[in-house]
Structure 1
Amino acid sequence: MNLKIKLTTAILALSTGITFAQQAPKTSGNPIAQGWYADPEAQIFGKEYWVYPTYSDRYEKQVYMDAFSSKDLVTWTKHERIIDTSAVKWAKKAMWAPAVTKKGNKYYIFFGANDIQNNNEVGGIGVAVANKPEGPFKDLLGKPLIDKFVNGAQPIDQFIYKDDDGQYYIIYGGWRHCNIAKLNNDFTGLVPFADGETYKSITPKDYVEGPVMFKRNGKYYLMWSEGGWTGPNYRVAYAIGNSPTGPFERIDLVLKQDMTVATGAGHHSVINIPKTDEWYIVYHRRPLGERDGNHRVTCIDKMYFDAEGHILPVKITNEGVAARKIK
């Protein structure tokens, strides 16, 4: 760099107050936040992106949740302890996989707690409410919303889907079984389907946990995680159906490890930029060489479709994504 360029650079830096070391990053980088975080739920509220992950640690230490917000997908702000067990008296450990939605002027967070192993234990899927996306969230019911095994599904890993007619569905399940149910208007309970059933099994082939649903071009996409969450083969697959209840036939893998980048890529959510066909996948993965099952980090990459509407395999990156503000 010659003297003239150096002087020009120095003048620009002084006039803007920004040095080259201080310039905003061009991409988000992966992971998007420091710390061990897994099972991320991604949402758009207004013109902000929000990510709600599980705090990844031993079950006895998973007694709170943090959130992260961004206006551009690149710079993220941490919101600490948006909910914890002091606000949910029946939750003692293993607060997992938040699902967040807005209804009216309220924000609702659904979560699994206590990792129940049978119908005699206290725990399952709870719901809490707040006036702001960063909380603080307070227990809505004082007890779990779903606290029993139905159709073999452990009551964890809930996802909330709002259909075009305004109906909210809860899709959930661990232990290789996936259920869907209709939420009532105030999220205090469930309402039966037209045939009288309250819970419908929509379990696709190879399903393990972590369901996600969205609609694109009139079709319903169901995504889920396969493999073991502590292993390198954790991955995401998908199916397409004509209704929220399917049927859903497994099509292919979408997300998996890349031994040059990271292992254990799974348990995700998706973001669609409003009024566009731009899609992002937010997921967790394990750093290369890591053997601690709890060392998971939250990342983001682009997601694309082919002309037939199939999801193309996601390329996981260290760079993450470029800045994208919501207009």
Structure 2
Amino acid sequence: MKQVLIFLLISFCSKAVAQTDSGQTKNNNPIFKGWYADPEGIIFDKTFWVYPTFSAPYEKQVFLDAFSSKDLTHWTKHERILDTSAIKWAKKAIWAPSIIKNKNKYFLFFGANDIQSDNELGGIGVAVASKPEGPYKDHLGKPLVDKFYNGAQPIDQFVFKDKDGQHYLIYGGWRHCNIAKLKPDFKGFIPFEDKTVFKEITPENYVEGPFMFIKNNKYYFMWSEGGWTGPDYCVAYAIADSPMGPFKRIGKILEQDHKIANGAGHHSVIKMPDSDTYFIVYHRRPLSETDGNSRETCIEEMHFDENGFIKPVVITKEGVKSHLIK
């Protein structure tokens, strides 16, 4: 009888721990179902948001979904916050959304049409809405950037707000990255003092997917390297004293783990507003998948050493624990 009671007690405790773990850290990656890539994570009004690319053949990439969460572990899907019915000039390949709140409006920057030359219609567009979940409408009625400046394909846009309130557009594929000063209404650009509009800030090994944030008055510039369908896809970074750089590559901090998943890259970073806790949101390809478009969105905690350098990120199936914004 005593042995039976001990067995029942152990079983009960094991189940209780399993239930607790499943609500906190067990198998939280990917963070939501479906094939999604190039995620941008951000916080609006004590809510976590992720805006990804719908990962499919280019001709089927004609809309964007968004996802929201109060705790980083339970996510709500907001379908078709933007699609080609609102952006008349966009026909396919709607990629890598970047969003920012400005004067009580939400501005969603995106790439469309995967243009290969200056003679094609497409590039980087801007949409606007009164709520994070949209619906979004075309802000310009045409692309904001529709040409190849400094060799940069107009894709993979990121909107960065500096300490002085100035907004910058940082973007570029084809191994070139540009930065430009946005006008306050996001309808054009302010030339730099030398009258140029697009300045190249490409670091060593840059391919695509730029992201920037400030920590301790230093500018952390991050990007993706390698091929997005290959095993060499990864994230690297640099640190500078200005958003203009110069950015000297420090090294890789996110890459695939052949025991977990392939092709980890094209990321964004979320900082908790009430602590020095950082998260990296990224996409990767499950080991069972060979289709390049089979990408899923995941999240891990990102740490720094005593000198401010980013520690290599360990990719996991567990993801992160529940976090609430106070």
What band does the TM-score fall into relative to the shorter chain? Answer: over 0.9
2:35 matched residue in structure 1: 36
Query: Does 1:270 find its partner at 2:269?
Result: yes
Paired residue for 2:45?
46
Letter matched to residue 123 of structure 2: G
The residue aligned with 1:87 is: 86
- Residues 146-200 of structure 1 show CA distances to partners (whole Å, capped at 9, x for unaligned) of 0000000000000010011100000000000000001000100011112222111
Residue identity opposite 2:81 in structure 1: I
The structure 1 segments of at least 4 consecutive aligned residues displaced by more than 2 Å after TM superposition are 20-24
Distance in 2 (alpha carbons) for counterparts of 1:271 and 1:23: 23
The one-letter code sitting in structure 1 at the alignment partner of 2:269 is: V
Which of the numbers 23, 26, 29 marks the counterpart of 2:24?
A: 26
Separation in 2, partners of 1:302, 1:258: 16
Equivalent residue of 2:165, what SS?
A: coil
Q: What's the CA shift for 1:23? A: 9.6
Q: Whole-Å Cα distance in 2 between the matches of residues 272 and 21 of structure 1?
A: 28
CA displacement 1:202-231 (0-9 Å, x = unmatched): 000000000000000010011000000011
Measured after TM superposition, the shift of residue 24 of structure 1 is: 6.8
Distance 1:253 1:106 in 2: 35
Q: Do 2:274 and 2:325's aligned partners in 1 also have CA atoms closer than 8 Å? A: no
Task: Give the number of equivalent residue pairs.
Answer: 316
Question: SS at the partner of 2:23?
Answer: coil
Deviation at 1:289, TM superposition (A): 3.5
Structure 2 residues without counterparts, runs of 5 or longer: 13-17
| Alignment partner, residue 242 of structure 2 | 243
Distance (Å, rounded) in 1 between the aligned partners of 2:21 and 2:215? 37
Q: Deviations over 1:72-116 (max 9, x none)?
A: 101011110000000000000000000000001100100000000
AA partner of residue 52 (structure 1)? Y
The DSSP-based 3-state class of the residue aligned with 1:212 is strand
Secondary structure of the 1:32 match is coil
Q: Which residue of 1 aligns with 2:172?
A: 173
Residue 22 of structure 1: CA displacement?
Answer: 11
Determine what percentage of the aligned residue pairs are the same residue. Answer: 66
Matches of 1:83 and 1:105 in 2, distance apart? 19
Q: Work out the CA distance in 2 between the residues paired with 1:84 and 1:133.
A: 15
Query: Given residue 318 of structure 1, which amino acid in structure 2 is its aligned partner?
Result: K
Relative to structure 1, is the Cα distance of residues 136 and 217 closer, same or farther in structure 2, using a 3 angstrom cutoff? Answer: same
Helix, strand or coil: the match of 1:25?
A: helix
| Separation of aligned partners in 1, 2:242 and 2:36 | 32
The CA deviation at 1:272 is 0.5
Deviation of residue 21 (structure 1)?
A: 7.1
2: CA distance, partners of 1:154 / 1:31: 29
Q: How far off its partner does 1:2 sit? A: 4.6
Q: Which residue of 2 aligns with 1:232?
A: 231
**Aligned-pair distance for 1:290?**
1.6
Contact 2:300 2:315 in 1 (8 A): yes
- Amino acid corresponding to residue 145 of structure 2 in structure 1: I
The 3 A distance-change label for structure 1 pair 22 and 281 is closer
**Matching residue's letter, 1:72:** D
Q: Distance in 2 between matches of 1:253 and 1:146?
A: 29
Paired AA for residue 299 in structure 1: C
Query: 2: distance between equivalents of 1:75 and 1:57?
Result: 24
Partner of 1:131: 130
1:61 alignment partner in structure 2: 60
Partner of 1:186: 185
2:268 alignment partner, SS class: strand
Deviation at 1:276, TM superposition (A): 2.1
The residue number in structure 2 matching 1:13 is: none
